[in-house]
Amino acid sequence: MTNVLTTEPSGRQPLRLWPGVAIVVLQWVVKLVVPAIVPEGQVIGMFGGLVGGLAIVVWWVFFSRASRLERWGALPLMALAVVATRPLMHESIQNGMMGMMFVLYAIPATLSLALVVWAVTCHDLAAGSRRAAMVVALLVGCGVWGLVRTNGITGDGGADLAWRWTTTAEERLLAQAGASTPLAEARTAAAQAPPVGQQPVGPPSELPPAAVETLDTPLVPGAESPVAVALPLPAPAATAAAEPSGAEPVPALPVAAEPTAAGAIDSETVAEWPGFRGPRRDSVIRGVRIATDWAQSPPVELWRRPIGPGWSSFAVRGDRLYTQEQRGADEIVSAYDLTTGEPVWMHGDATRFWESNGGAGPRATPTLSGGRVYTMGATGILNALAADDGAVVWSRNVAADSDVEVPGWGFAASPLVVGDLVIAAASGALVGYDLTSGERRWLVPSRGGSYSSPHLLTIAGVEQVVLMGGHGATSVVPADGSLLWEHEWQGVPIVQPALLSEGEILISSADAMGAMGLRRLAVTHGADGWAVEERWTSRGLKPYFNDFVVHEGHAFGFDGFILSCIDLEDGARQWKGGRYGNGQLVLLPDEDLLLVLSEKGELALVQAGAAEFKELARFPAIVGKTWNHPVLVGDLLLVRNGEEMAAFRLSLVGM
């Protein structure tokens, strides 16, 4: 008689599988179903998944009835699978959500699922086969994350996942337009080109980027020092369909000219929409009334074209619109024809900013003043360009000038022109530059990170620039940067302050968990100097990176991804409604109307009243994650995101 040795106990009880199955099903319900029906459900889904992952571990170790070797052996195997998979993942997954995406998604979701599926399907196998299958299941549960990438996250924390091998919108744009001139070739071409006009004279930081490398050290570790390059423009795209591959070449359009001393300011030139959020940086469009019955008079599409990634909005003057985008290794300032969408010129700086949550590209919006366009790139390149042809007037490195590092989301502040100065904000620092020469006039050092833009206000008859910084609000004299007043509110602010009345302003801040609310300040100026008093702080409206507007004694904006209205008298919430994601909006005060651009690219008209939330119309405009501010000039509406831009004609009332 032969005795067979086995590691399996003869009276082994069957696995208790139902708790594990129930937990995994609940995990996926919380992850997929809850966000669709519950406000801010993505956060619930993520943390619910982590709790579910912990529950799976507790079930498996203490209540599954598995053998001791399998119960306790699964834990180091899971850890090994996580460690082994991480180097194989796309960098967007490795760095996503501040480096926590893999942990937040893989461990509570696919790893838990892999363990339960293995237990259900393999519990009757022989011990050796079963344990080998466990190793494979856990490796697959983690390894699947090596097959995907993320195109960023949505405002509520959801990941925009795609297969790793699929092309991005930017890659498709570059393939359609033709690859940009490589940096090395551009440098060679620039070196071989004959001199053009009189080159500016001055220290390296004041020279145009094509004349010298603007940065002493790369802005992004491992990147080449940015230089300006003249980029070949893509062939014009038809508004309805792309040009066939066999079509005749389209004649080249103008590109950004070589740096010259040209670009003199035309003081008589007036921009209809000079930059970020309009003439007063308040997203208020005065003197325009539009038809609100979009069933009868819907927006009419005039043109649509792909665009490089970036969260820039538009500046508009005459028949030109200006924006910023990324195309491969080059950060672009681009001018397009307003009525056709065709490119007019492009200026490129050989630098690329990318982070896994917001993606690639510049964050700020161009500023028009006189005959020039002033731009701030995500890595800190401040350019003054001729608005008509993109010629470089001067360029500076704001990061070096203010002694700050590029923040996690990149520099996002749009330049502000005040008198003979252009003022740039860099992660809480303020720098004033001479409008004509680019010479640095003054510096206010950073006291904490910020993504907000400098804001021009007049309080107590005194013109001042207010910046929301990491320590709170700071007000300075535009001419020399000297301090007027400040108010402490620690955080990382993003949105703009708002002037309510003489001496009353509304500010906002944020922290690592999101928006912190709105605060009303009373600012006075007397014989003893400036005084700032907090009137109230409200969490009834918590704008994060989505700006709010003020109208008829109320503030309207995004509380999370739902619109909210609060009373400015005491900060009390009046209503909350409408799910538009983390979108943007503008106010048409003449007809008490909010024009909303949702995070998914839909347009909506909402009544700007205190009584109730009331949506009047909705219209699909563009596709993809849309964080960019819309622009309305007359009856022409401009919208864009990191993939496409479009122009629509709106019917005006009384026209």
Domain boundary among 492, 518, 544: 544
User: Which residue shows structure tokens 């001067």?
Assistant: 394
Q: How far apart are CA 467 and CA 425, in angstroms?
A: 8
Angle subtended by helix axes 127-143 and 112-122, to nearest 10:
150
pLDDT of residue 156: 73
Give the number of other Cβ atoms within 10 Å of residue 197's Cβ.
12
Give domain status of residue 9, yes or no: no
Q: Residue 549 falls within a domain, yes or no?
A: no
Q: Order of strands across the sheet with 593-597?
A: 584-588, 593-597, 602-607, 615-620
- Can you spell out the DSSP letters for 546-560? S--EEETTEEEEEET
To which residue do tokens 């119309």 refer?
617
Query: pLDDT tens for residues 202-260?
Result: 333 333 333 223 322 333 333 334 445 555 454 444 333 333 333 333 333 344 444 44
Total number of domains in the chain = 3
Residues 430 and 526 in one domain: no
Q: Does 361 lie in the same domain as 499?
A: no
pLDDT at 41: 62
Same domain, yes or no, for 70 and 156? yes
Pair (386, 509) in one structural domain? no
Based on the domain organization, do 502 and 390 belong to the same domain? no
Q: What is the pTM of this model?
A: 0.84
Q: What is the pLDDT of residue 180?
A: 44
Mark residue 527 as left, alpha or beta (left: phi above 0; alpha: psi -120 to 50; beta: remaining). alpha
pLDDT recorded at residue 268: 52
- Residue pair 308/326 in contact by the 8 Å Cβ criterion: yes
Tell me the C-alpha distance between 218 and 481, whole Å. 28
Asked whether residue 350 falls in the same domain as residue 396, the answer is yes
- Residue 1 within a domain: no
Identify whether 38 is part of a domain. yes
Pair (420, 464) in one structural domain: no
Q: Which residues contact 1 (CB under 8 A, 6 or more apart)?
A: none
What is the pLDDT, as a whole number, of residue 37? 72
Q: How far, in Å, CA of 566 to CA of 171, rounded?
A: 43
Return d(Cα 198, Cα 201) in angstroms, integer. Answer: 9
Let me know whether 176 and 95 are in one domain: no
Q: Which of 425, 451, 477 is the last residue of a domain?
A: 451
CATH number at residue 536: 2.40.10
Together in a domain, 405 and 536: no
Q: Are 482 and 475 in contact (CB under 8 A)?
A: no
Residue 212 is predicted with a pLDDT of 28
Query: What gap in Å lies between CA 608 and CA 592, rounded to an integer?
Result: 5
Residue 101 CA to residue 548 CA, distance in Å, equals 30
pLDDT below 50 — which residues of the chain?
1-8, 10, 179-227, 232, 234-265, 267
Residue 584 lies in a domain: no
**pLDDT on residue 49:** 77
Say how far apart CA 386 and CA 265 lie, in whole Å: 8
Same structural domain, 440 and 506: no
Q: Is 494 within a domain?
A: yes
Give the pLDDT confidence of 269-308 residue by residue, as tens digits.
578 999 999 999 999 999 999 999 999 999 999 999 999 9
- Of 112, 147, 163, the residue that ends a domain is 163
Domain span including residue 355:
168-190+202-235+254-277+311-451
- Are 385 and 507 in a shared domain? no
Residues 377 and 421 in one domain: yes
Helix (H, G, I), strand (E, B) or coil at 86: helix
Is residue 488 included in any domain, yes or no?
A: yes
**Residue 177 has what pLDDT?**
79
